[in-house]
Amino acid sequence: MAGVSLQCGDCGTLLKSVEEAQEHAELTKHTNFSESTEPVLNLVCTSCGKPCRSKTESNLHTKRTGHAEFVDKTSEATAPISLEAPKVSDDVAMGEAGDSSSSGQQEEMVVPEVDQKLLEELEAMGFPKGRATRALHYSGNASLEAAVNWVVEHENDPDIDEMPLVPASAKKSEASKPSLTPEEIKKKQQELRERARKKKEEEEKIKEREREKERIRVGRELLEAKRIEEENERKRLLLLRKAEKEEERKALEKVRQKMEEDKAERRRKLGLPPEDPSTTVKRSAPVVEEKKSSLPVRPATKAEQMRECLRSLKQNHKDDDAKVKTAFNTLLTFAKNVATNPNEEKFRKIRLTNAAFQDRVGKLKGGIEFLELCGFEKLDGGEFLFLPREKVDIAVLNTAGSELNSAINNPFFGVL
């Protein structure tokens, strides 16, 4: 069977003539063509007369217009293809005669009329003329937006850049719709710009929310890292202090051993027998008692008692530095308020059952004892701590403040 069409070897498109093959090559840069015995389909819509060259094109036409009935006129238009390109110098009359002779075989196909203003706008946007004409034709010349949407939906079609053709008889029925006025074009353009602006604003809002979430997450991670670093630093200081105490103990033990060795060496040089440890203890005990009985014992001062009370409080709660620091600051506030306003009874009376007082001072061993050293006394069966006005001693309160400041500001207080 003779060839009835030309097939593009690059994309598989079937073409009716050499002219179509040349136009296809100019649009797509495809150069591999061969004869084919498969005819180009000619499915004509019974509703509007639009020809469709493939099943895909007819399906798209049905989807857009709802027209589902087509007449297959492929056999009527099928004829052996001529591989000779028409000469430019052919006489017009010869062309007309050829047209009249071939009109009995197939209907003349022409380029559909489209809105020239919309076509110029699409070409200005960078679309090829064939693609722009096809988009306007199949979108019904409705608007620039409809044409662009059609291009987006069909950008993967193999014949997207081919110039559309319609039967000459259907050209009038396929005439383009009246073109839009300049005011309508401006309105459409403004709507497109407004829609793009709103879309951009929505995207910016979404990005801003994501950035805010990221900032919150990073902030939490930084706080957690800081807390872990502070906890590790606290543990490191405790281990360091423990190691220092152990070194000090070992140093004292070495000094004691050295003294024992020197003492033994002196006895050996003097010719004395080695000292019996049990005898040394029994003999030295009365001497120590005699020394103790002969020396006066100095009573602990108020400041020493307060310092020992605070040291005991910290030692009893050494695993919770925050609670110890809160207790010290609360005791300092009590002492400062009484020293500053000794005539105000509200500063000299503390309810022991108060939940805040119990949480900060009352439950900690040594807290109430420190207040008693400042002069406070228990009243009403132990319900209140009260400091009588006549027993307010500013010097004692100042001493308490000094000891508390030292305990708060000295990181090694109560450790050694």
Answer yes or no: do 98 and 158 share one domain.
Answer: yes
Do 282 and 333 fall into the same domain? no
Domain that includes residue 234, residue range: 183-294
The sign one gets for the Cα dihedral 252, 254, 258, 264 is positive
Residue 221: the pLDDT is: 92
Asked if residue 312 belongs to a domain, the reply is: yes
CA-to-CA distance for 325 and 332, rounded, in angstroms?
Answer: 11
Q: Is residue 177 part of a domain?
A: no
- Phi, psi angles (nearest 5°) of residue 274: -60, 145
pLDDT in tens, the chain (416 residues): 456 777 888 887 887 777 888 888 888 878 788 877 778 888 888 888 888 877 888 888 888 888 888 888 877 767 776 665 555 444 444 444 444 444 445 667 888 888 888 888 888 888 888 898 988 888 877 788 888 888 888 888 888 888 888 777 665 554 444 555 677 777 877 887 888 889 889 999 999 999 999 999 999 999 999 999 999 999 999 998 998 899 889 999 999 999 999 888 888 888 778 776 665 544 444 444 444 444 455 566 888 888 888 888 888 888 888 888 899 999 999 999 999 999 988 889 898 888 889 888 888 888 888 898 899 998 877 788 899 989 899 998 999 998 899 888 887 776 65
Give one DSSP letter per residue of 136-192, joined into a string.
HHHTTT--HHHHHHHHHHTTT-TTTTSPP-EEGGGTTTTPPPPPPPHHHHHHHHHHH
Query: Do residues 281 and 346 both lie within one domain?
Result: no
| Inside any domain, residue 176 | no
Q: What is the pLDDT of residue 280?
A: 52
In angstroms, rounded to a whole number, what is the distance separating the alpha carbons of residues 357 and 363? 8
Mark whether 276 and 380 lie in a shared domain: no
Nearest to 109 by CA among 68, 59, 69, 49: 49
Q: Are residues 28 and 74 in the same domain?
A: yes
Report how many domains make up the chain: 3
In this prediction the pTM is 0.32
Q: What is the pLDDT of residue 83?
A: 61
Domain boundary among 249, 270, 294: 294
Locate 131 and state its tokens: 């693609």
Does 402 lie in the same domain as 289? no
pLDDT for 298? 56
74 and 140 together in one domain:
yes
